[in-house]
Chain A
Amino acid sequence: MTAMLNVKDLRAYYGQVQALHGLNFSLNEGSLTTLLGANGAGKTTTLRAICNMVRSTGAIEFEGKPIGTRSTENVVRLGIAHVPQGRGTFTTMTVEENLQLGAISRSDKKAIVDDIERMYTHFPVLKQRYTQQAGTLSGGEQQMLAVARALMLRPRLMLLDEPSFGLAPLIVRDLFGILGKINREEKVTILVVEQNAQLALELADQAYVIETGRIVMSGNAKDIANNEDVRKSYLGY
């Protein structure tokens, strides 16, 4: 397997505060990787740095191309979809318009129409509400919409920032099931940042643990799940 995303010595800054202190990691094509860590460890910053939404230095390569200096929209146009924390729903627009926006950088009109239908089969709840203002959806529905919107890009890589945040456990199960399915069936490489470590490790095949802006552990998700330190700190048993 080849590395799809390669990150070397990534450092990120908020004003004069450094949030990442030289991160190195890579994602294999077709993998589902999770990035674990406590609050403030730098998980969100890592995702934001990949999309150039925060000032950073270091080398980021996507499919062999350096992307560190590209603007956010140009990173996205390479096929990297980012579902941000808080979902970033266009609340004043309808559900369908949100989906169309996901595909705004594509020009294959016919395929877009098909993809919207496909999203409705993945997420039936969205179909019932397609003319509804997206802001009126529940939290879980908005998260579904955010994932669907990201998929409308037909991404090669999908970055998810705490998709389980604020959702009921049952809905989280649903959502993670769908993510696994997308990863397997549509061959989308996924990097998911999570606080719900148990669930993330069940789902993922690779895992990284990040602490105060540094990667402290990496490997197979099963091995990580069995690691004693990780169990104590993140899984609570």
Chain B
Amino acid sequence: MSAAAEEVVTEAPAVEAVPKRAMTLGYGTSLVVLAALVIIPLLVKNFIIFQMTMLLIYGLAVLALNILTGGSGQFSLGQSAFYAVGAYTSAILMEHVGMNYALTLPIAGVICFGFGFLFGQPALRLSGVYLALATFALATAMPQLLKLGYFEHWTGGVQGLVVTKPDAPFGLPMSQDMWLYYFTLAITIAIYVASVNLLRSRSGRAFMAIRDNEIAASAMGVDVALYKTLAFGVSAGITGVAGGLGAIAVQFVAPDGYTIQLAISLFLGMVVGGVGWLPGSIVGSAFIIFVPNIAEGISKGLSGAVFGVLLFLVIFLVPHGARQVAIVAQQLAAKLKKN
């Protein structure tokens, strides 16, 4: 009986209320995934390694949105703006200041954290569609701001900036792509672990309390304003690091790389991965990187329609995203164990 009751808890339909235990993977599964991520690059070509790097980078950006939406219940269509700020911070520091690429990332993170925290202030008064519109405004404004003449000396205007790809340090016998992959992997793991711990901490509980019932949360003494803006800050900060990594990996930043389309992609990634389920971020990231290519491969003229149909198929089959697949798999495994 108690087992049945537990299953119901994990199956609860409201994605807005993922229990924190259900936000992560078990140790065994985590190790398998980690091993795969470490070993695969040794066996494949450079181009695929590059794609895997992008997979991790977008995975981080989706994770960041997941903390904001799945964690604190706020919705954002403005993630592309934070991503852009991170990317430009890294690019400008590397190319104009000559800073080491690795050092630019924490700076990008901190700047974006501040930016997100500030943006969270007016966003406090808004929720739902209103917040969506406000963040949407941010996302549409960003590419235009980057194109402005005032900043052209730094940003390179419409042309953007070319970024030098770093070599592997200490004379390690690795290609640039492979080094960058492992570098990104290390950062991704660090951020993932930190995020899991954040959501399990006092602050994480505060986020979730706000997500589930704002009025009740404030009645329990949660500083709603502080934690909501904090969630925006953390999310923006992680997105900024992802943006910085993205700039280094792609070796290029330009305003039109960070349009609303990117924000929408990240949103789709979150839904496909499962809102509030952090490991799903990587699945969502895979969806937004590979499915458009697959669609293009199936039909060039109708690639948009094919993409739309594939997306519909996914959400029909698993309305709760990859999280649902994981839960079903878990239940199957439990049943097999019993028999």
Contacts and interface: CB of A to CB of B under 8 A. Distances in A.
The answer on A and B forming one complex is yes
Interface of A: 14-17
B5 interface: yes
A14 B4 CA distance: 11
Interface string B8-24: 10011000000000000
A16 B10 CA distance: 12
Given A15-B7, A15-B12, A17-B5, 9 more contacts: A14-B8, A15-B8, A15-B11, A16-B4, A16-B5, A16-B7, A16-B8, A17-B4, A17-B8
Contacts of A14: 8
Interface residues of B, number: 6
A94 B136 CA distance: 35
A89 to B, nearest CB: 19
The 10 closest A-B pairs by CB, nearest first: A15-B8, A16-B4, A16-B8, A17-B8, A17-B5, A15-B11, A16-B7, A17-B4, A14-B8, A16-B5
A80 B55 CA distance: 56
Interface in B284-316: none
Contacts of A15: 7-8, 11-12
Contacts of A16: 4-5, 7-8
A81 B12 CA distance: 29
Contacts of B5: 16-17
A16 B11 CA distance: 10
Nearest to A16: B4
12 contacts: A14-B8, A15-B7, A15-B8, A15-B11, A15-B12, A16-B4, A16-B5, A16-B7, A16-B8, A17-B4, A17-B5, A17-B8
A15 B5 CA distance: 9
Nearest to A13: B8
Contacts of B4: 16-17
B327 to A, nearest CB: 13
Contacts of B12: 15
Nearest to B4: A16
Nearest to B13: A15
B132 to A, nearest CB: 21
B322 to A, nearest CB: 21
A131 to B, nearest CB: 28
A176 to B, nearest CB: 32
A171 B11 CA distance: 41
A14 to B, nearest CB: 8
Nearest to B1: A17
A118 to B, nearest CB: 38
B40 to A, nearest CB: 38
A229 to B, nearest CB: 27
A46 B4 CA distance: 22
B5 to A, nearest CB: 6
Nearest to B9: A15
A16 B331 CA distance: 13
Interface in B1-47: 4-5, 7-8, 11-12
Contacts of B8: 14-17
B7 to A, nearest CB: 6
A17 B8 CA distance: 8
A194 B4 CA distance: 30
Nearest to B8: A15
A45 to B, nearest CB: 15
Contacts of A17: 4-5, 8
A15 B4 CA distance: 9
B62 to A, nearest CB: 29
B118 to A, nearest CB: 34
Nearest to B12: A15
A15 B3 CA distance: 13
Contacts of B7: 15-16
A73 to B, nearest CB: 22
A169 to B, nearest CB: 27
A17 B7 CA distance: 10
A14 B8 CA distance: 9
A147 B12 CA distance: 32
Interface string B237-260: 000000000000000000000000
B11 to A, nearest CB: 6
A122 B4 CA distance: 48
B198 to A, nearest CB: 30
A7 to B, nearest CB: 25
A16 B5 CA distance: 7
Nearest to B7: A16
A16 B12 CA distance: 11
Nearest to A14: B8
B4 to A, nearest CB: 5
A17 B11 CA distance: 12
A16 B4 CA distance: 6
A17 B5 CA distance: 7
A14 B7 CA distance: 12
B16 to A, nearest CB: 17
A109 B12 CA distance: 43
A172 B4 CA distance: 40
